[in-house]
Structure 1
Amino acid sequence: MRGLSASEQRIPEAAETMEDNKNGPVLGKSGKKICCSCPETKSVRDLCVINKGEENCADVIEAHKQCLRAEGFRVK
């Protein structure tokens, strides 16, 4: 096998990579990814689960899910 020549090692232009990335990350109404949406309810949920256990935090977990749904994400 031979290596690629310099002309074959072309780096795509930024516009090409943007076109190819039509299935990029899903963004909510605020333009944020799901991991960065609803930081207030997320931190309350996380602290509750850490301190009390998931089984004792159903209300704050549901509040976070509702916030994510309001952002346009599909959450079970």
Structure 2
Amino acid sequence: MGGLPIQSSSGVASSGLQTGKGATTTASDPIPSKPKKKICCACPDTKRLRDECIVEHGEAACSKWIEAHRKCLRAEGFNV
């Protein structure tokens, strides 16, 4: 707990603060697009396929469905 960022498996440092698209705006920036839904309710089809695959085959065998769900969430405006 020395205040250093934690390195995640994806190689992105995490300091507990989320920054990304639309995190801050200035008067000249366009209004950021906020997700219209809660993340738990977005992309139900890819979420179902991802979850079923993980339950049946384990997370390591389901990277195709995991990435498809992440892509869908990004398209919905989430920063994942």
User: Under a length normalisation based on structure 1, what TM-score does the superposition of the two structures give?
Assistant: 0.60
The code of the aligned residue for 1:32 comes to: K
Who wins on radius of gyration, i.e. which is larger?
Answer: 1
User: Which sections of structure 2, spanning at least 5 residues, go unmatched?
Assistant: 1-33
Query: 1 or 2, which has the higher helix percentage?
Result: 1
Identical aligned residues as a percent: 57
2:49 matched to 1:44? Answer: yes
The code of the aligned residue for 1:69 comes to: R
Q: 3-state SS of the aligned residue for 2:50?
A: helix
User: Under a length normalisation based on structure 2, what TM-score does the superposition of the two structures give?
Assistant: 0.57
Q: Deviations over 1:4-51 (max 9, x none)?
A: xxxxxxxxxxxxxxxxxxxxxxx62xx210010000000000000000
Give the number of equivalent residue pairs: 47
Q: In structure 1, how many angstroms separate the alpha carbons of the residues matched to 2:47 and 2:64? A: 12
Q: In structure 1, how many angstroms separate the alpha carbons of the residues matched to 2:77 and 2:54? A: 24
Superposed, which structure 2 residues align to 1:19-58 within 5 Å? 28=35, 31-58=36-63
Q: In structure 1, how many angstroms separate the alpha carbons of the residues matched to 2:63 and 2:70? A: 10
